[in-house]
Amino acid sequence: MARWIGPLLALVAVVATLWLAATGKLSLYIHPRYTVFAVVMAVLGGVAVLGGCVVMLRRDARPHHHEGEHTHAHDADEIGPGLLRRPRLLRSLTVGRVLIVVGALTALLVLPPAALTSATAQSRALATSADALTAGSPQLVGGDTSQFSVKDWASLLRSGGESAVAGKTVEVSGYLLDNGDADVVYVARLMVTCCAVDAQPVGIPVYLPDWAKDHKVNSWVKLTGRFQQNPSGSGAVPVVVVPAELASIAEPDQPYVY
């Protein structure tokens, strides 16, 4: 039983990876640029595991001399000296193995795939690195901003400064991220560089006095507004988006930016 746990878990992971790729949900866990690589490796891994299973089955099918002695010795080596006289412990070990397989099946194949929650992002620092923000971004200065994402606006603000965004109209969606200012809240999204493990929030500041009275942290909104000098005069956030509209929305199917 024990020697089949590893191959079975590997096959569960392979099936889960291929299923997520086929349904377009693999991007909830890894950057889309790694999808092809992940699929190829899953296929190769599946072939290798199935090959190993065939080898084990053929080995089991071979006739053995002194089969009773061989089985007893094999079990003793696998389980450990003296454990054969402890049936309760043996049953516990078997139940544990079954629970491992059932847990993997449930987590990978039964539960619906889900993105990291915005609540998770509250414990992660807002991305401000120029290298991180500009990686993969379109031509920012002087470019068409009508399709800009939260990351694009944050990149433009970081690389071009106040003059690059002043007076520009913004239309984005994201979740509300508290950055410690009672009058300024960030509309943010999780930015994935490699996989969900390294996801980091990226956002743009929005001037919304006493925003916490009417809005909940992590709630998703659609923002329409314009960049201008911070009306509160805060030196920490010199330029903000003053909203013309801030409407609540449901979390989108693809909540990340890349």
Specify the CATH number for the domain of residue 172.
2.40.50
Query: What pLDDT is recorded for position 220?
Result: 95
Compare 40 and 197 and report the one with higher pLDDT.
40
Query: What pLDDT is recorded for position 213?
Result: 92
Query: What pLDDT is recorded for position 111?
Result: 56
Q: What pTM was estimated for this model as a whole?
A: 0.70
Report the number of distinct structural domains present in the chain.
2
Compare 233 and 213 and report the one with higher pLDDT.
213
In this structure, are 22 and 69 located in the same domain? yes
Among 110, 142, 157, identify where a domain stops. Answer: 110
In this structure, are 247 and 165 located in the same domain? yes
Compare 206 and 5 and report the one with higher pLDDT.
206
DSSP state of 102: H
Q: Which domain holds residue 7?
A: 2-110
Residues 121/198, Cβ–Cβ less than 8 Å: no
How does the average pLDDT of the chain come out, rounded? 78
User: How many percent of the chain have pLDDT more than 90?
Assistant: 28
In this structure, are 99 and 127 located in the same domain? no
Distance CA 28, CA 253 (A): 9
Q: Residue 75's pLDDT band (boundaries 50, 70, 90)?
A: very low
In this structure, are 148 and 223 located in the same domain? yes
- 3-state secondary structure labels for all residues of 185-222: EEEEEEECCCEHHHCEEEEEEEECCCHHHHCCCCCEEE
Report the DSSP pairing between strands 239-248 and 184-191.
unpaired
In this structure, are 130 and 251 located in the same domain? yes
Q: Residue 84's pLDDT band (boundaries 50, 70, 90)?
A: very low
Residues 75/93, Cβ–Cβ less than 8 Å: no
Among 110, 141, 156, identify where a domain stops. Answer: 110
Q: Residue 77's pLDDT band (boundaries 50, 70, 90)?
A: very low
Q: Residue 103's pLDDT band (boundaries 50, 70, 90)?
A: low
Long-range contacts made by residues 106-113, C-beta under 8 angstroms, separation at least 24?
108/12, 108/13, 108/15, 108/16, 109/12, 109/15, 109/16, 109/19, 113/20, 113/23, 113/25, 113/28, 113/29
In this structure, are 13 and 48 located in the same domain? yes
In this structure, are 141 and 238 located in the same domain? yes
In this structure, are 253 and 126 located in the same domain? yes
In this structure, are 230 and 152 located in the same domain? yes
In this structure, are 159 and 221 located in the same domain? yes
In this structure, are 140 and 90 located in the same domain? no
Condensed to tens digits (0 to 9), the pLDDT of residues 229-254 reads 999 876 678 899 999 999 999 999 88
DSSP code string of 127-174:
P--HHHHHTT----TTS--TT--HHHHHHHHHHH-HHHHTT-EEEEEE
Angle of helix 2-22 versus helix 87-105 axis, rounded to 10: 10
Compare 170 and 16 and report the one with higher pLDDT.
170
In this structure, are 86 and 162 located in the same domain? no
Among 86, 110, 134, identify where a domain stops. Answer: 110
Please determine, for residue 107, whether its predicted confidence score (pLDDT) is greater than 70: no
